Structure formats: structure tokens, C-alpha cells
């Protein structure tokens, strides 16, 4: 596998970002269709999440996109039942996530665990999504965004946002509690937004990096890895892009239709229509 993995070091940890590092998609947006079938979101939200998923896979996520996604997801999930979300994720996890797990990531996880390191997934997606994905790929721990819950439902407020400096701080706290020396630890990510996470360890790696992270990795001599083999089939990039653009146009048209005077909302009966 990766020749930079040290098999002689003492027990430590390896920190993996999730989206475009372990899986070839956005975990936060992966469950749009089953959430729709469960009555949690409307048609417009499905189209919007599908379009956003396509753009994420093609262009990645910078700070502006991540902040926009955080606000969107926080507003969208307000009032949802935590129990229902957990059940939907559990029922659809293998079908929606399994085919998009990078084979190279699984091999790297196995390699590090064989060297005696704990594998920790650090993701800005919600814990209800990240924890089962962590179990799926064999991770030992996860650090994920946590939403405030009251009476079994999400309030829309964020208790902890695992993003940017927040990821690095959570890693330092875990290292202190677990006795890791971060100088001996590894980290893997695709995004410039995870620069604090990568700088927190002694062995940073860029995986499928965006342009900004690639420039920094090359200037600092960090290893750059290319993961290209999801465990399941995937449509060609061109077909995905065409489908994503078509869905984006359809979503925009649906919004204009809903906004027209006297127009009926395409949102399922009993479901509130969401904003942009």
C-alpha cells in the first residue's frame, strides 16, 4: 500500500476526512431520496441535494460551499425525529454508501490498523451519518458534527461543528485523552478547508486534493495520493455532470413554479416547503 506508512512506530492514530477521502461523494447529501420517501423533505430538496452532490464530486467544497451547506442542512433538519433519521440511514447505508467507498482507503485503513494505530474519521457531516459509515469501513472512532436535540428532535442548532479549526481542536483533545503523540500521527484529506487538521499531525497526506491543497502539499513536500477505485460501479464523469446540470435546471424551474401566483407546491401533502 502507501510506502509512507511506518509499521515500526508505537501505537498512535490516523485521522481520515470522510468525503472524497474515504467515499467518493458527500455523506451529508447522500440520503436525500430515502429522506424524501420517509416524508422528511420535498421534491425540490431532493433535486437540490442531487445537484449539490454532483457539484461536490466534480469541484469539491471550499469554505463558501461548506458554510452554505451547513446552513442548508441545519435549517432543513429542524424538527426531524432523530430516531427516524437513524433508522433511515441504517436501512439504506449499504446501498447508498458501499459502492462509493474507495478501495484504496479501505486498504490504507487496514494497513494502519495492522501497524497498531487507531483509525479516526473526522467529518463535518452529522454523527448520525458518520458513525454508521465509520462502522462500515472499520474505523475505531469518529469525530463528527453534533446537532442539539430536544425531546428526540433536532432544534436546528449546532452543538459542535467538526469543521476547519474545530476538527484540529477535537483531534488535540482526543490525543490528550488517549495518549497519542500527534507528531507521530497521520492525517488524510482532500480539501483546503482541512488544512488545520493536516497541520496538526506529523504525517499529513493530501488525497484527491483540490487545487489549493495540492499547491500547499507540493510546496511542503507532503505525499499526494490519488484514490480512483470505488468498490462499486460509477457512471462516467461526463454523464454525471450532464445529469447534475439537468437536475439543477429542473430544481430551479420547480422553485419558479412554486413562486408563481396561484401555483401549487410540488411538495408532498403535509410537508412544509423549504426555502433556498
User: Where are any strands of DSSP class E within the chain?
Assistant: 13-16, 118-126, 141-150, 153-160, 186-189, 203-207, 224-225
Q: Which helix (H) or strand (E) is 136 found in, with range?
A: helix 127-137
Looking at residue 241, what DSSP letter applies?
Answer: H
DSSP 51-114: HHHHHHHHH---HHHHHHHHHHHHHHHTT-BHHHHHHHHHHHHHHHHGGGBBHHHHHHHHHHHH
Please confirm, yes or no, whether 6 is among the known catalytic residues: no
165: closest CA among 207, 201, 200? 200
What gap in Å lies between CA 271 and CA 41, rounded to an integer?
Answer: 7
Catalytic residue among 19, 45, 194, 210: 19
Residues facing 210 on adjacent strands: none
144: left (phi over 0), alpha (psi -120 to 50) or beta: beta
Options 2, 6, 17, 184, the catalytic residue: 17
Q: Of 76, 48, 42, which is closest to residue 268 (Cα–Cα)? A: 42
Quick check: is 140 catalytic? no
In this structure, what DSSP letter does residue 26 have? -
Catalytic residues: 17, 19
Amino acid at each position: 500500500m502507501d510506502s509512507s506508512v511506518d509499521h515500526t512506530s508505537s501505537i498512535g492514530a490516523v485521522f481520515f476526512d470522510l468525503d472524497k477521502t474515504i467515499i467518493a461523494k458527500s455523506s451529508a447529501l447522500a440520503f436525500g431520496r430515502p429522506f424524501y420517501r420517509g416524508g422528511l423533505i420535498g421534491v425540490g430538496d431532493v433535486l437540490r441535494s442531487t445537484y449539490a452532490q454532483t457539484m461536490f464530486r466534480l469541484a469539491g467544497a471550499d469554505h463558501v460551499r461548506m458554510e452554505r451547506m451547513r446552513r442548508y442542512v441545519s435549517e432543513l433538519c429542524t424538527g426531524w425525529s432523530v430516531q427516524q433519521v437513524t433508522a433511515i440511514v441504517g436501512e439504506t447505508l449499504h446501498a447508498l454508501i458501499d459502492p462509493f467507498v474507495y478501495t484504496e482507503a479501505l486498504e490504507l485503513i487496514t494497513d494502519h490498523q495492522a501497524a497498531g494505530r487507531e483509525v479516526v474519521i473526522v467529518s463535518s457531516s452529522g454523527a448520525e451519518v458518520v458513525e454508521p459509515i465509520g462502522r462500515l469501513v472499520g474505523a475505531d472512532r469518529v469525530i463528527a458534527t453534533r446537532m442539539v436535540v430536544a425531546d428526540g428532535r433536532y432544534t436546528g442548532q449546532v452543538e459542535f461543528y467538526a469543521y476547519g479549526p474545530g476538527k484540529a481542536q477535537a483531534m488535540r483533545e482526543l490525543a490528550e485523552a488517549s495518549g497519542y503523540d500527534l507528531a507521530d500521527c497521520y492525517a488524510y484529506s482532500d480539501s483546503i478547508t482541512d488544512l488545520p487538521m493536516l497541520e496538526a499531525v506529523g504525517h499529513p497526506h493530501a488525497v484527491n486534493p483540490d487545487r489549493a491543497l495540492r499547491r500547499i502539499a507540493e510546496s511542503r513536500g507532503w505525499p499526494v495520493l490519488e484514490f480512483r477505485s470505488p468498490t462499486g460501479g460509477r457512471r462516467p464523469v461526463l454523464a454525471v455532470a450532464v445529469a447534475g446540470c439537468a437536475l439543477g435546471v429542473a430544481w430551479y424551474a420547480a422553485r419558479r413554479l412554486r413562486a408563481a401566483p396561484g401555483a401549487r407546491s410540488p411538495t408532498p401533502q403535509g410537508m412544509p416547503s423549504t426555502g433556498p
